[in-house]
Amino acid sequence: MLQKYEGTSGFRFTYSGVSEGISDMNYLQVDSKKRNELQTYATNNPVLAESPLDLATLADISMPIADIGPYGFHLHESKEKVDIAFTFHILPRLLKDIIYALQK
């Protein structure tokens, strides 16, 4: 599916592992070797403080995740900006195609 978008958009897509600390969804996929680090992650993630699930339950969920979002420049800086063509033209169609593919 991504090849279709690479051919028409000029963007190159890559797959990578979970970037721990980057996404609020990281607690949904816990590496079995790092279960002991979940408490540290929870301490630094305010979303988990409000979760109705305890850490052991969250560690047992361990579901695959995909963090698909806008592409930009100068991330997490005062000059942060998104690539308008990707964010508003390519990304919405890509997300729709992924959602439809997952429903099959």
- Look up the domain containing 76 and give its range: 70-104
Are 25 and 45 found together in one domain? yes
pTM of the model: 0.56
Q: How far apart are CA 78 and CA 60, in angstroms?
A: 38
Number of domains composing the chain: 2
Q: Is residue 80 classed as helix, strand or coil in its secondary structure? A: coil
Are 62 and 76 found together in one domain? no
Q: What percent of the chain has pLDDT over 90?
A: 2
Domain assignment of residue 34, yes or no: yes
C-alpha distances in Å from residue 23, one per residue of 2, 17, 27, 92: 22, 12, 9, 20
Does residue 86 register a pLDDT over 80? yes
* pLDDT at site 40: 77
Are 96 and 82 found together in one domain? yes
Position 70, amino acid: P
pLDDT category, 41, cuts 50, 70, 90?
A: confident
Are 62 and 79 found together in one domain? no
- 49-80 per-position pLDDT tens digit: 677 777 777 777 766 667 777 777 887 788 88
Are 74 and 93 found together in one domain? yes
Are 25 and 59 found together in one domain? yes
